[in-house]
Structure 1
């Protein structure tokens, strides 16, 4: 049963909960990655590019807004999301054959 931070009484408790959350985050990233693959499949027949600047800006702003809503530092999380976006765009470019142009 997961413990809240306040319920953790030892470093072992804290580490176990962090490890549990890290695994859950990886599962969410894997799920997100499935949507990246699907986006490339949908973009191909529509002749859309991997990099759509308006969407990139929207996702970065969403990251900032969500960070603020959860009491987190928005600059850090926007930059983290920028790295996710860059990696996703590079992957989509490969899938769409844009890196061969």
Structure 2
């Protein structure tokens, strides 16, 4: 049964909840990755590049703003999202054949 942080009374409780959340985050990352693949499929016939700097900036700013809104450290989450974006662009480039040019 899921517990809130306040309901956790042992380290085992805390660890179980962290493990549960880590799995849930991975499920969300997998879902996000599906959209990255779909973006490449949509970009191909439109002859769009994998890297669209305006969108990269927008996603990083969204991460920063969301972190602030949730009381999290914005620089850390912006950097984390920058890594997600970098990986996604590299994957899209492979899918679009941009890494072969």
Q: Structure 2 unaligned segments of length 5 or more: list them.
A: none
Q: 2:46 is matched with which residue?
A: 46
> What stretches of structure 1 move > 6 A for 4+ residues in a row?
none
Map Cα deviations across residues 19-66 of structure 1 (whole Å, 9 max, x no partner).
000000000000000000000000000000000000000000000000
Aligned-partner SS, 1:48: coil
TM superposition score normalised by structure 1: 1.00
Map Cα deviations across residues 40-95 of structure 1 (whole Å, 9 max, x no partner).
00000000000000000000000000000000000000000000000000000000
What RMSD, in angstroms, separates the aligned Cα atoms of the two structures?
A: 0.2
Aligned-partner SS, 1:99: helix
